[in-house]
Structure 1
Amino acid sequence: MYGNSEKVMNAQQGELDFHNTINESGERLTELKKNAKTQQEKILQYFFQNSIYCFTPFEIQAHLLPNNPITSIRRAITNLTTQGHLIKEKEQKVEKYGGKNNVWSFNANGPHGNKYKES
C-alpha cells in the first residue's frame, strides 16, 4: 500500500490517534498517544449521549474540551469518522472567524459494538 491508503487502513484499526508531527519518542510519545485516545473516547461518548444533534469541532471544544487545541479535536473527529463512528453531514454552520464549519453526528450503525447501542 502506498500513501493515504495505508494511513486510512491504520486509522480504521485505531492506530492514528496521535499524529507524531513533532518527532516525540519514548515515554512522552506513549503519554501523548494515551491522551489522544482518551480525547477520542470522550468525543465519541459525547456524540453518543447527544445523538440527536450535530456538532462542529468548535462546539465540541466549547462544550467538552475547552482546554484542548481545535486541531486536536478536528483530528479526533476525523479519526472517528474514518473509523465509521461519526458521520460528516452536508449541513454547515457559520462560526468563529465567520467561516463555515462542517457538522458531524453519531453513526448509530457504526462499529462501536454493544457499548454504544440503545437498549
Structure 2
Amino acid sequence: MLPIDLTGKRALVAGVADDAGYGFAIAKALAEAGAKVCVGTWPPALNIFENLLRRGKIDESRKLARGGMLEFERIYPLDAAFDTLEDAPEDIRTNKRYTERGDFSIAGLVESLKK
C-alpha cells in the first residue's frame, strides 16, 4: 500500500455494517493511515453492527498492523437512498428501526457531521 499520512484528518465511510465488505476494508486502511474514522450504517443493520463491536465479535478484523484496534469515532445512521428525511416514504419514517436513530438521510448526516 502507498504510504499516506492522514493523521489529524477525519474520514467518513458509508456502508459499513460488518467486517466483510469493502467499506470495512476502506475504514481500516484509513485508520492505518492515521485518520479518525466515522461510518454511516444502514439503520436496520445498525443495532447488529453495534452488537458485533460491543461483544468483540469482529475484534480480530479490527486489529491494526502497527498495533491497536480500529476504533470508530462515530457511527451514524445512514440510508443514502434519501437526500432528506421528507424523501423517505411514510412506512420507512415510522419504522422502529429507523425512528429510534433520528435523521438517517444524507442531509441528516451532513448536519450531524457539523456537530
**Structure 1 and Structure 2 fold alike (TM over 0.5):** no
Q: TM-score if structure 1 supplies the norm length? A: 0.27
More helix by share: 1
